[in-house]
A and B are shown apart, each in its own frame.
Chain A
Amino acid sequence: MTDLAPGRPASVIERRLVAMTTVVLLAVALTVQVGLNGHVLVVPEAGSRTELIVYGVLAVLGGVCAVALFVRGRIPGPLRWAGVAVLLCCSLVMSGLLPPHPMPVPNHWSIGLIGWYGLVLLYDLAIGWVVAFLLAHVATLGVSMAANGATAVYVADMGVTFVSVAGFQLGVALSARLLRRIADDAFRTSRAAEELRVREEEAAAEARNHERRYADLSTTTIPLLAGLADGVLDPGAEAVRRRCAVEAARMRRLLIEGDGVADPLVHELGAIIDVAERHGASVQLSVSGTPGELPEDVRRELLAPISEALVTTRSPARVTVLHGPDQVRVSARCAAPELPITQPGMGGVSLVEFVTDGQVWLETAWRSR
């Protein structure tokens, strides 16, 4: 029910509550039509032919509303406004049938019924629409009676009848506001609970991530730092300096992991290139293709050997990233480092190392299927 609450999106809870109430209102209208006003079908009376037609039209409208609610769960816009027009026509026709003085058999049975159907059609709109409809309904009645020369007592009598019926209907229509408030509260509560759950999950994932990062560093960075602190490792030795460079790039990459950028692989590669350029390499990066989803461990394995090569070279290097439809390939071409490159260990990442004429050409690749 898109018109439910102008100016704000209707929540699912609100839609369901209003739809259920509309069904109940329709049941009331049909009960009033068949149970209270079924006598129209059986009591022979002058002018009953017109009444029968109006009765039939209202019954058809009730049936159509029932089908719409059953099939679509709501009253569609065109049906709503066509229905309102039909109701006002019925109101006009029935008001015209009223005699100028009271009759033994009451033929104002349609007043309440038309109001109920109006409520079915307009319940999910703002209350003003229901009020406008009921006013139009009573205005039709009043004007017709005045035109027929009804007595003041009779007009007052009909006014009381109308107020007692329509007042009750207006009260029911006001319940829609209450429903919306209940739905709003329920929606806010469920959203708060959902946000809390998401935050808890995020915090747990973050904690797991921290543990994993620490686990990564504990096997490589921490022994290196411990070795340097204990004086076991010589900071001047080429192998130690290379390990330091590799660990610096690894930490730099870990620090920017999860920065929420469009292409995390290239973002992390940028951090590695930054470290490499501080060590004297001149790196040319070329990226092609549209980045897709890439698991974090795959990203790490794709970059690990490339990072090792780049941070230990001082030569010009060409680095490329190719995001294909079903694969990601990262490549680096530079002067061959003196120590061998670590092989990727997990995540289904393959490594091709091609060495020729003092140049190494490394390629890590991962297939998504």
Chain B
Amino acid sequence: MAITVTVVDDHPAILSGVRVWYGEADQPIRVVAAGTTVDVAWTSPGDEADVVVLDLNVGDERAPYQRAVRRLVDAGRKVIVYTMQDSEEVALTCLDLGVSAFLTKSEGHEHLVAATIAAAENRPYLPPTLAGAIAGDRGPAHPRLSDREREVLTQWFQCESKQLVADRMNITPRTVGTYLDRVRVKYANAGRPAPTKAALLARAIQDGLVGLHDL
């Protein structure tokens, strides 16, 4: 069964591009609704979609992006923030609010497809820019990462290729992915509680990615 997506973006080229990328994905992904405001995610047929891909209007003080994201996440919606913003602060804020993934538009479309599939399955996905934000995170509430996790995170941020990181660190690309997933799950276990975070944690335990004692 196809994964259904609602796309919120004010640029028609992005909407078209996203449809094409999803159309070319190995796994069927269908855009059921698209629009320029977040209302499209609250009305039929967009309100039934598995995943909401949301562009942020960070500068709009009348409608702060945090409110829109929090409302969706608190309703149990799986949100992928897809934005021109590459601010670490915005990325970490979105992560704390409970989004499934934070992606910048300068990152390759393969990350959007992979993040959408992961979000639909409550599995973690850590795109390179978000990995960079986490690697540079000096906030007081950030989770404790091992040296190895931090190194994988940094190298993934630098080269955007799990294969290159694996070659350089003499591990398999699968192990690289496991490290990244564990870091992502640690962030789901930190800060403000959200239903999406709980679902991600539950799935991670079910998949054996982390044990209860790790949390």
CA A308 – CA B136 in complex, angstroms? 26
Give 1 or 0 for each of A294-306: 1 = CB within 8 Å of chain B CB: 0000000000000
For residue B210, CB closer than 8 A to chain A, the reply is no
Q: Find out whether the CB atom of A361 lies under 8 angstroms from the CB atom of B159.
A: yes
CA A324 – CA B137 in complex, angstroms? 8
Partner of B168, one of A287, A318, A361: A361
Q: Find out whether the CB atom of A329 lies under 8 angstroms from the CB atom of B138.
A: no
Once A286-B128, A354-B167, A361-B168 are accepted as A-B contacts, the answer to whether A324 and B158 lie under 8 Å apart by CB is no
With both beta carbons as reference points, the residue of chain B lying nearest to A331 in the complex is identified as B158
With both beta carbons as reference points, the residue of chain A lying nearest to B128 in the complex is identified as A286
CA A207 – CA B164 in complex, angstroms? 45
**Secondary structure type dominating chain B contacts:** helix
Give 1 or 0 for each of B130-145: 1 = CB within 8 Å of chain A CB: 0011011010000000
With both beta carbons as reference points, the residue of chain A lying nearest to B129 in the complex is identified as A286
Give 1 or 0 for each of B158-179: 1 = CB within 8 Å of chain A CB: 1111001001100000000000
CA A287 – CA B132 in complex, angstroms? 8
For residue A161, CB closer than 8 A to chain B, the reply is no
Q: Find out whether the CB atom of B158 lies under 8 angstroms from the CB atom of A325.
A: no
Interface positions, chain B 147-167, Cβ under 8 Å from A, are: 154, 157-161, 164, 167
CA A325 – CA B140 in complex, angstroms? 13
Inter-chain contacts of A331 with B (CB < 8 A): 158-159
For residue A219, CB closer than 8 A to chain B, the reply is no
For residue A320, CB closer than 8 A to chain B, the reply is yes
In the complex, how many angstroms separate the beta carbon of B61 from the nearest chain A beta carbon?
Answer: 24
In the complex, how many angstroms separate the beta carbon of B108 from the nearest chain A beta carbon?
Answer: 10
For residue B88, CB closer than 8 A to chain A, the reply is yes
Once A284-B106, A286-B129 are accepted as A-B contacts, the answer to whether A361 and B136 lie under 8 Å apart by CB is no
CA A323 – CA B133 in complex, angstroms? 10
For residue B86, CB closer than 8 A to chain A, the reply is yes
CA A352 – CA B151 in complex, angstroms? 14
Inter-chain contacts of A325 with B (CB < 8 A): 138
CA A354 – CA B164 in complex, angstroms? 9
Inter-chain contacts of A354 with B (CB < 8 A): 164, 167-168
CA A333 – CA B168 in complex, angstroms? 13
Q: Find out whether the CB atom of B154 lies under 8 angstroms from the CB atom of A322.
A: yes
For residue A363, CB closer than 8 A to chain B, the reply is yes
In the complex, how many angstroms separate the beta carbon of A266 from the nearest chain B beta carbon?
Answer: 12
Interface positions, chain A 256-305, Cβ under 8 Å from B, are: 284, 286-290
Inter-chain contacts of A287 with B (CB < 8 A): 132
CA A287 – CA B88 in complex, angstroms? 9
Inter-chain contacts of B167 with A (CB < 8 A): 354, 356
Inter-chain contacts of A329 with B (CB < 8 A): 154, 158
Q: Find out whether the CB atom of A324 lies under 8 angstroms from the CB atom of B132.
A: no
Give 1 or 0 for each of A317-356: 1 = CB within 8 Å of chain B CB: 0101011110001010100000000000000000010101
Q: Find out whether the CB atom of B157 lies under 8 angstroms from the CB atom of A323.
A: no
Q: Find out whether the CB atom of A290 lies under 8 angstroms from the CB atom of B138.
A: yes
In the complex, how many angstroms separate the beta carbon of A94 from the nearest chain B beta carbon?
Answer: 63
Interface positions, chain A 62-76, Cβ under 8 Å from B, are: none
CA A84 – CA B65 in complex, angstroms? 59
Inter-chain contacts of A359 with B (CB < 8 A): 164
CA A75 – CA B160 in complex, angstroms? 66
CA A325 – CA B135 in complex, angstroms? 10
Partner of B86, one of A286, A322, A323, A352: A286
Q: Find out whether the CB atom of B138 lies under 8 angstroms from the CB atom of A288.
A: no
Q: Find out whether the CB atom of A288 lies under 8 angstroms from the CB atom of B88.
A: yes
CA A315 – CA B157 in complex, angstroms? 19
With both beta carbons as reference points, the residue of chain A lying nearest to B88 in the complex is identified as A288
CA A361 – CA B164 in complex, angstroms? 9
Q: Find out whether the CB atom of A288 lies under 8 angstroms from the CB atom of B135.
A: yes
CA A329 – CA B160 in complex, angstroms? 15
Inter-chain contacts of B157 with A (CB < 8 A): 286, 288, 320, 322
Partner of A324, one of B88, B106, B128, B135: B135
Q: Which 10 A-B pairs have the closest CB atoms?
A: A289-B136, A288-B136, A288-B132, A331-B158, A320-B158, A333-B159, A354-B168, A361-B159, A284-B106, A286-B132
For the complex with contacts A287-B132, A288-B88, A324-B154, 11 further pairs of A-B residues with Cβ separation under 8 Å are A290-B136, A290-B138, A320-B132, A322-B132, A322-B154, A324-B135, A329-B154, A333-B164, A354-B167, A356-B164, A359-B164
Of the A-B pairs whose beta carbons lie under 8 Å apart in the complex, a sample of 19, sorted by A's number, is: A284-B106, A286-B106, A286-B128, A288-B133, A289-B88, A289-B138, A318-B160, A320-B157, A320-B158, A322-B136, A322-B157, A324-B135, A331-B158, A333-B159, A333-B161, A356-B167, A359-B164, A361-B158, A361-B164
